[in-house]
Amino acid sequence: MIFVTIGQMLPFDRLIRAVDDWAGATGRGDLLAQIGNGDYEPRHMRWVRKLAPAAFTAQVRAAEAVVTHAGMGTILTALDVGRPLVLLPRRAALREATNDHQLATARHFAADGRIAVAFDEGELPAILDRLGELKPAENRPPPEAERLIAAIRDFIAAG
């Protein structure tokens, strides 16, 4: 099952429509989308408006992959349970967010190589076509955190 989520705060019809179009084109029927208060209602995948936090986490755990915006809550949940992630960041120019912080988040994770990123909806179908090749996202600390942890361990060991 592929879990598609747009977070809890703002609609993201561009993501929902793109994945729904892909589901219709491929005939893939094992998708569940949490669509929030968006105007677009999917025709080719099951959907709900909202999920309680426990149900949300259960869907992430059950998913083969998670397709989402570049919101940290969803990213961290998927990292914690080791699910492959596909991001489509919201864009301020399209009035999907107040600024482009999600583009910055997506660029960071794309450069790190842990998460697949489509920077526009046109890139999304090719990534979705190869979901089976995506590796689970790893929840590992950044290198600077590893250096800090090592320094603290050395300090404690030196007593």
Convert the pLDDT of each residue in 80-114 to its tens digit: 889 999 999 999 888 888 888 899 999 988 887 77
28-41: average pLDDT: 96
Confidence of residue 151 (pLDDT cuts 50, 70, 90): confident
DSSP H or E run through 141: none
Quote the strand ranges of 35-115, DSSP E.
46-48, 65-68, 85-87
Mean pLDDT rounded to a whole number for the chain: 90
CA dihedral over 18, 24, 29, 33, signed as positive or negative: positive
Q: What is the pLDDT of residue 99?
A: 87
pTM, whole model, 2 decimals?
Answer: 0.85
Question: Buried b / exposed e across 44-67, counting CB within 10 Å, b at 16+?
Answer: bbebeeebeeeebeebbeebebbb
